[in-house]
Amino acid sequence: FRHNDVEHLDHVLCNAVVEGQPLTNRPWKKIMVMVEGIYSMEGEICELPGIVAVAKKYKAYMYVDEAHSIGALGPTGRGVCEATGVDPADIDILMGTFTKSFGAMGGYVASSKKFVDYLRSHSCGNFVACSMSGVVAEQIVTALRIIDGEDGTNLGRVKLQDIRDNSTYFRNELIKMGCQVLGDENSPVIPVMLYVPSKIELFHALCMERGLAVVTVGFPAVPLNGARTRFCISAAHTREQLEGAIEKIREVVDILRLRYNESAW
């Protein structure tokens, strides 16, 4: 279905239920709706309440990828469900990573015991790869305790506020600069449009010359004319670091003429 479009999802699911499979028109045995908590290339927060309602209407399964939203969204960092007021029990499969907010390795799948047992017995990543080390497991548990405030401090709450403040500051500065910035206000994923494919490598090289490591994205991860750079903001960034990065980005933006939101006249 079209990106984050609840009405179009309703249309797609209705057609799938009514028409069935192509050629045979046999009913689908299972239909799964897959979304991201924060869309990694757009920086937008998922319209989860509306999508869940539509999935329930047509008895479709829900799969949510929380790679960028867990530990960053919601009053206590519990992710997109908490941020949007959706009951996690309404999500059939919740998946996330431990490599971002938790500063560790690996990831998790939260679902029914039957589904998790099936993954454990059929997933090559589980029975061929090595087990998670004790150090990494302890890092994850410690991060969870800090986020929940179980360590006896308010560090988790402070970090959650810092990532929101840093994201808002960085996004607003890029918008003031005249860049075309995608995404929602509280999203720590901040894409800036480059559009022209030839500017992908130039933007990356010019930023590296200034000591700024950036991620640039081109086709096929995004449309051919949708090249962009993506900034991922952390609670650990200081205001001085962000201000320094903005000044370096401003120089590159001027060189490559990326102020798309400013009039050319």
Tens of pLDDT, residue by residue over 230-252, are: 999 999 999 999 999 999 999 99
- Which value, in Å, is the radius of gyration of the alpha carbons in the chain? 21
pLDDT at 262 over 80: no
Mean pLDDT of the chain: 93
Residue 199: which of 214, 178, 212, 182 has the closest Cα? 214
pLDDT at 192 over 70: yes
Instruction: Supply the pLDDT for residue 128.
Output: 81
Tell me what the mean pLDDT of segment 24-29 comes to.
Answer: 93
Instruction: Supply the pLDDT for residue 265.
Output: 45
pLDDT at 264 over 60: no
Q: Which residue is associated with the tokens 């929940």?
A: 148
For 32, what's the count of Cα atoms within 13 Å in the CB-facing half-sphere?
9
Instruction: Supply the pLDDT for residue 179.
Output: 95
pLDDT at 130 over 90: no
pLDDT at 158 over 80: yes
Instruction: Supply the pLDDT for residue 243.
Output: 96
| Proportion of the chain above pLDDT 90, given as a percent | 83
Tens of pLDDT, residue by residue over 46-91, are: 999 999 999 999 999 999 999 999 999 999 989 999 999 999 999 9
Classify burial at 86, counting beta carbons within 10 Å of its beta carbon; exposed 0-12, middle 13-18, buried 19 or more.
Answer: buried
Instruction: Supply the pLDDT for residue 98.
Output: 92
Instruction: Supply the pLDDT for residue 194.
Output: 96
Instruction: Supply the pLDDT for residue 17.
Output: 94
Rounded to whole angstroms, the Cα distance separating 214 from 232 reads 9
Instruction: Supply the pLDDT for residue 263.
Output: 59
